[in-house]
Structure 1
Amino acid sequence: MGPSITPSTATSPASRVSAGQPRRSRSRDAFDNPSRSLKQTWKPTHTRKKEVLKALGIFQRATAEHLWCMLRPGDSHDRLTRDTLNALEGDGKVRVETRLESNHQLWVLTEQGHKEAKQLLPGNVRVSALRKPKYDTHGNPVVDDGFDEHAAAITMTAAVLTGAGFGTPLSWQTEIGHKLPYGYTQYADLTMRAPDADVPAMLLEVDRVNEPVDDLVAKVRRYSDWFELLAPKADAVKEKAARRQGAAVHDFPLWSRIYSATGREGCVPVAFVFTGKTTAQRASRMRRLEQAARRYFAGAAYPGAQFTAVDYH
C-alpha cells in the first residue's frame, strides 16, 4: 500500500482523478461540475444505486472515493458515484454523517436505506449496524466525528483490493469475531472470501504503523490459538490419533466449519496490511513482526537433518 491509505491522500492511477479533489490548473467548481456540453451523461442507474446500498450495508460508512474504487474502478473519476449518492440522498436512503478533514463527505445509510440494504444482501452476509443521527438537547443535528483513520484505512484496503480484482464488495465482511476459551474475542478487521480470485478465505489486519509490534504478535498468537480449537462434538481422541498417524485433520478444527477449504494444507491465511508513515518505517515494521512472530508459523528443525518443515497434519 502507498504511504497513506486514508481518503484524504489515497493514490489513484494517473488516468483516474477523484472528482472531489481540486486540480491546480482549473477551479474546483469547474472540475466538480463538468460542462453540460460534455458527451458523457451523469445519470445514476438503478444498478448503481443497489451497488452503493449493498456496499454501505457491509461497510457502514464510506466516502465517494471509497465506493468509486470498490464498485466502479473503471470510471475515470468519482463523479457518477457522487451523483448516485446524491440521488439516494434525495430518495431518503443515505445521508452525510460528517465531513472529514480531507473535505470528503462521509456517507451512511438512513433507516430506510438500511432496510433496503438488508433485503438486497444475501443472507450469509452480515449487515453492519445502523448509524442513527444524533441530536442535541434542542433537537438540532450533531455532527458525528467518530470515523477515525483506522476505519478509513480498513475501508480503503477493501476498496483497493476489490478494484484490483480480488473478489467483489460481497466478498468482504468487517469485525468478525473469533472467540477464544480464555474469554477473549479476536476481531478481524476484514475477512475476504473470493474463490474466483483463488482466495477461498483470508483474514486481514490493517496497521497504520502505530500499534506496538508486541500487540501485532499477540494477534498472531490469538489467531494460532483459535485455529487449534476443535469443533463442537469433534472427537479429541481421534484428532490426536490422526496427528500421530500423519493423517488429515481438517474435519476436526472449528475453523474448517466456518471457512471454506483453502485447497491446500494449513489454516486460513492471515494477512497484515501496513499503511501510513514512510516506506522505510513500513518495511521495518514488517521485518520486526516477521521476526517476533516467527515461532507461530516457522517450520520446526528436524533432528539430525539440514532442514526445517511444517507438518500441516
Structure 2
Amino acid sequence: MPRVVVFDEFGGPEVLRVVEEPVVAPAAGEIRVRIEAFAVNPLDRMMRSGISPAPVPLPHARLGVEGTGVVDALGAGVTGIGIGDPIILTAVPDANARGSYGEYTTVPASRVVARPAGLEVAEAAAIWVAYSTAYGALIEKARMRPGDHVLITAASGGVGRAAIQIANQIGAVPIALTRDAAKRDDLLAVGAAAVIATDHADLAEAVRHHTGGNGADIILDLVMGPGQQDLVQAARPGGTLVVAGFLDPRPTAFPTGTPLTIFSYRSFEHTLDAVVVARMAAFLNAGVRLGTLRPAIDTVFALEDIVEAHRLLEKGLHTGKIVVTA
C-alpha cells in the first residue's frame, strides 16, 4: 500500500513515522495526486512541535503544504485537468489531514497549477511556498516597482532568495541582509545588488550607503523580533515595511511614529484567491522560462529518511530548500 508520514504526539523529529494506508478516492471537485516530491518548511516543524498558529488534532496527524506530482484520479465535475498532468500544489488548507508528506493525497482541483516546463521534480517541489510568499509580499502588497531599493531580511533562506530573484525580474534593486558575512559571496551570486552583514556593519548607515542616502523603499521583514526597530531606521520616509515572517519568536513592538506604510502578510490570503494565484503562476512560468527564477536545493532525502530531513531543518544550517522524494 502507499506510504504516508504521520505523527501521534508533538515533539522532535523522532515523532514522525512512515505508515501504509490505502488510497482515497477524490470527492466531487477534487483530484488525487501521486506525489513525486515535497519540500520541508518551517510551518511543518511548528505543526510537528505543537506550536503552529492553528491547532493540529492528534493522533494520526499529517504534514506538508508544498509538493509536486501528477494527477492520478479525477473527482466528479472536474474539468480543465487530465490524468497524468504534472502539477504543483498551491495550497493544502487541511494539511493536518491530507498534507503532502506521502505518496498520494487529494486536494480541490482549484488548489493546483500546471508544473512549469523546465523544472526538475525537486525544484518544482520547492518553488511554490517561497516564491508565492515573496511575490505576494513584494508585488501584491508592497507594489514593488522597477528601481525600488528593497531590503530583504533572512536573505539566505528560501523566501529571501526568492525575493532577491523576483526583485531582479521586476527591475528593482535587492539588498540582502544576513547575520553572517560568510554568506556574502553566495548572496551576490544569487543576485543581490549588495549584501549587508549585521555582524560587521551598522544597518541604517549601510542601507543609506547603498541607496544614495535615501533609505530602502521597501523592507521585507521575514524575521520580526526586536531587530525590527533597526529596520525601521533603515527605511526612507514614506517607504513600506512588509512583515511576512516570524523567525524570531521574541516580542515585537509595533512600529509607531514612523512615516511608513506597514503591512502584515500571510501567504494564505493570496494562495486561496484564484485570481491572484493565476497571476502568481503566470509570473512564475515567465521567470522559469527566462531563467530568472530558480529555487536552490540543499539536500534531497528519501521518504523513509523523513526524520533526518527534519533534523536538518532543526539545525537551521541549510542554504536551500530541503526536499523529500516520494
| Higher normalized strand content (fraction of residues) | 2
Larger Rg: 1
For the aligned pair, the TM-score class normalised by the smaller chain equals under 0.3
When normalised by structure 2's length, the TM-score is: 0.26
When normalised by structure 1's length, the TM-score is: 0.27
Asked which structure has the greater RCO (Cα within 8 Å, sep 6+), the reply is: 2
